[in-house]
Amino acid sequence: GRIVFCIATIILAVVFRLWDATWIGSYTHFYCRMDSLFSGVLLALLSTDNQFMNLLKSKIRLIEISALLLFFFAIGLSLNVIELSSHFIPSFFVLLYSALLMLQLSPNNLLSKFSNHGVLRFLGKYSYGMYIIHEIVRFTIFQLAASRLPGLYGLSDIVYTTLSLGFTILISVVVYHHIEVKFLSVKN
């Protein structure tokens, strides 16, 4: 029943995005984005099933190829070479991230080896803080340095963005060790 519920919720999110005519609504309303959450829940449920895991291992090459094609499609979207209705872009990313999660579930492939690299583990540890503050830091640096909204229009913007990334990581590490750790200890 939980698997059927997850699948129904994923489909329903697409329907809600089509129903919600506003671009911003389809990106911000929970009911329009719940396919992202429930695709992860679905994979978590399926990962406990031996039959699914055996099927996953037998189809790993197909999943790798699919993930690679979806990745190139994402590059095409970001470069505006490929167009896709804004209502379906979240669905596309659900497919891409689900393929990546399936690769993570299957050991001994290139992605699982890559994602266990020390730099990625470091960034993963502090990622929540980076997620929370990155826009504030980026906006502040662009306002102070260029007196305008963030964007990538030239070499100076690459410098500002690099500074933003550095300060975001630095602040996230400090916040993690002085605030987050205290909250995490209460959780455990």
The pLDDT tens digits of the residues spanning 135-184 come to 999 999 988 888 888 777 888 888 988 999 999 999 999 999 999 898 88
**Which DSSP symbol is given to 126?**
T
pLDDT score of 188: 57
d(CA 121, CA 164): 20
Q: Is the pLDDT of residue 25 over 80?
A: no
pLDDT score of 57: 87
**Which DSSP symbol is given to 107?**
S
d(CA 123, CA 9): 31
The pLDDT-based confidence of 21 (bands split at 50, 70, 90) is: low
CB atoms within 10 A of CB 35: 25
pLDDT score of 174: 96
- Write down the pTM of the prediction: 0.65
The pLDDT tens digits of the residues spanning 28-51 come to 788 888 999 999 999 999 999 999
d(CA 73, CA 77): 6
For the chain, the residue count is 188
Q: Decide: residue 103, CB within 10 A, 0-12 exposed, 13-18 middle, 19+ buried.
A: buried
The helices-and-strands tally (H runs, E runs) of the chain is 11, 0
The pLDDT tens digits of the residues spanning 75-89 come to 988 888 888 877 788
Contact 17, 26 (CB under 8 A): yes
Q: Which amino acid is at 145?
A: A
Contact 54, 105 (CB under 8 A): no
